[in-house]
Homo-oligomer: A and B are copies of this chain.
Amino acid sequence: MNAPTTADQLLPDFHLRDVPAALIDALKARFAERCSTALAVRTQHGRDESSFEAPPPAAVVFAESTQDVADAVALASEHGVPLIPFGVGSSLEGHLLAVQGGISIDLSRMNRVLSINADDLTVTVQPGVTRKQLNEDIKSTGLFFPIDPGADASIGGMAATRASGTNAVRYGTMRENVLGLEVVTASGEVIRTGTRARKSSAGYDLTRLMVGSEGTLGVITEITLRIYPLPEAVSAAICSFPSIEAAVRTTIEIIQLGVPIARVELIDVNTVRMVNAYAKLGLREEPMLLMEFHGSPAGVKEQAETVQELASGHGGNAFEWATTPEERTRLWTARHNAYFAAIQSRPGCRAISTDTCVPISRLADCLLESVAEADASGIPYFLVGHVGDGNFHFGYLIDPNDVDERAKAEVLNHALVSRAIALEGTCSGEHGIGLHKMGFLVDEAGAGAVDMMRTIKRALDPKNIMNPGKIFSL
């Protein structure tokens, strides 16, 4: 395996391209005050939730319509200048950094739910709609959109990074839940992919090609999604385990038995301590599974009984159940606060987040060795996971000014990714490649497959203006 060095991971490709004054003038003429060159605005649009930094984009355009996006892309294309789509800025792998300079196009004002087809269980939205906004908007229909990556991300950003999160074990990821898209291509043309039919064999799957392409093939300007009936019954539980291994082995059995669990999240003992300190939860300081069951009342009861039996076989105890929305919210507080509790546990720190995902039978091997390495490193960390999918995240809490700590965290991440790939898993379950995992993608997919991605990129974006320098180098 031609593993990247740690240094490779830290050095994005800063080849800033020239942004001609003529382009800025043309953008200002077209967009007036919706084109900003104020440093504060540019700085805000030149970073994300990763720990990377790059010079800010030269300008930010606030799009309010597909035509706005098409015009901005056409101008960027004319001048050969990069264009980087921006939703709410919650991406985690440096996706939004203007590593080759250029223009940020902010889509947050394209935030209308365009149509709700309750009878078909579909909804069509603009890219700036956030997942919480969407669920608020469709609540009265008795339907919901299950994908929950934690952050209140924009739907456009979630599509672009192929996001998933806690409900994916039951409802799938953005890959399975995007039915169709409207996309502005690199030449500024507007195309549609997919229909509102649930399935189709009509030609190349452009929808799935765009989902997860991280803004490198076009700008997503409309998304048609599957939505689901709110389950008749929902029941949540937390359960403590004597070890991470016991919690993971329970999860493996739940999945292998085909229990249609809606959520099964691991929280390690570090995280439990952090959320106890942060939110005074008084949770038992042991590794925990948080679970949720959706279905009919009888179905939920049946699932819960099966899971309780499996858990007790591995020493699971202190089961705590919640069936009302308020009780469920309380139980899920631990999970939802994990990130902030962790950050607060070490003032001034930044989290370097890992994102491996492995076949479920390899989960214990992958996790336990990596926990041992993290413990040995001395770097503080928290560990949470969508373990039903084999996906988990370490958050290494580093002092961003301590070069040595950062390097140590990258060494841990590197060992983890190498292990996940050797176990037939992936370097990224849901965060995407961005800047941070470009070397790992080659390790995982092989040079031939990455070359195929490059060939597609060159064909669809010959001037390399769509979020260049991400996923792979050209």
Contact = CB atoms under 8 A, between A and B. Distances in A.
Contacts of A421: 195
Interface stretch (A4-12, A15-23, A352-360): A352-360
A424 interface: yes
A204 B213 contact: yes
A205 B446 contact: no
A74 interface: no
A196 to B, nearest CB: 4
Interface string A212-224: 1100010000000
Contact of A209 (B204, B258, B298): B204
A433 B202 contact: yes
A437 interface: yes
A323 interface: no
Nearest to A120: B359
Interface stretch (A57-65, A326-334, A453-461): A453-461
A192 B449 contact: yes
A48 to B, nearest CB: 15
A309 interface: no
Interface in A434-474: 437, 440-441, 444-446, 448-450, 452-453, 455-456, 458-460, 471-472
A247 interface: no
Contact of A433 (B118, B201, B362, B445): B201
Contact of A199 (B173, B192, B424): B173
Contacts of A472: 203
A55 interface: no
A402 interface: no
A197 B437 CA distance: 17
B119 A200 contact: no
B257 A229 contact: yes
Contact of A424 (B161, B162, B197, B201): B197
A430 B208 contact: no
B203 A445 contact: yes
Contacts of A459: 455-456, 458-459
A258 B175 contact: no
Chain B CB count within 10 A is highest, among A161, A257, A358, for: A358
A358 B122 CA distance: 12
A74 to B, nearest CB: 14
B120 A360 contact: yes
Given A195-B424, A426-B195, A448-B190, A359 B201 contact: no
A193 interface: yes
Interface in A279-333: 295-296, 298-299, 302
Contacts of A203: 212, 433, 441, 445, 449-450, 453, 471-472
A162 B452 contact: no
A6 to B, nearest CB: 19
A361 interface: yes
Contacts of A389: 197-199
Nearest to A172: B176
Contacts of A67: none
Contacts of A211: 205
A426 B213 contact: no
Nearest to A160: B201
A209 B361 CA distance: 28
Contact of A197 (B190, B191, B229, B425): B425
A418 interface: no
Contact of A204 (B121, B189, B456): B456
A177 to B, nearest CB: 10
30 contacts: A117-B361, A118-B256, A120-B361, A121-B360, A162-B200, A176-B176, A185-B448, A191-B448, A191-B449, A192-B448, A197-B357, A197-B389, A197-B424, A197-B426, A198-B359, A198-B389, A200-B426, A201-B426, A202-B428, A202-B444, A203-B212, A203-B445, A204-B453, A228-B258, A229-B256, A229-B258, A231-B258, A296-B302, A456-B456, A458-B459
Sort A-B residue pairs by CB-CB distance and give the 9 closest, nearest first. A208-B208, A459-B459, A119-B361, A229-B258, A200-B426, A191-B448, A120-B359, A196-B424, A197-B357
